[in-house]
Amino acid sequence: MPVYEYVCTVCGQRTERLLPHAQAGEPGPCPACEGTLERRFSRVAVRLNAWGFSRTDGFVPDRPGRGDFRTVRERAERIADGDT
């Protein structure tokens, strides 16, 4: 089962729930104030370990679109916090 991250629309507290996919839209009340929880998108760690996905492939500086990990990380953090 996946772990989903939620934020309370009333008090802003973040919480995680281990739920089946079918129940991800109904996490229940906030543990702090009983407010409504809204699902947030979290960062995910993925390791591609198959043909064509080298562990060091993303670190080759002369490939287009590669090497600017700070910008990608900052953008991912903004999306995770609900900003676009």
| Strand-by-strand arrangement of the 14-18 sheet | 14-18, 3-8, 37-40
Number of domains making up the chain = 1
pLDDT tens string 1-33: 788 899 999 999 999 998 888 888 889 999 999
Within a 10 A sphere around the Cβ of 6, how many other Cβ atoms?
A: 21
Domain that holds residue 68: 3-80
Q: Looking at the whole model, is its pTM more than 0.85? A: no
How distant, in Å, are the alpha carbons of 24, 34, 42, 69 from that of 6?
10, 13, 9, 26
pLDDT tens string 53-65: 555 555 555 555 5
25-34: long-range contacts, CB 8 A cutoff, minimum separation 24: 32/8, 33/8
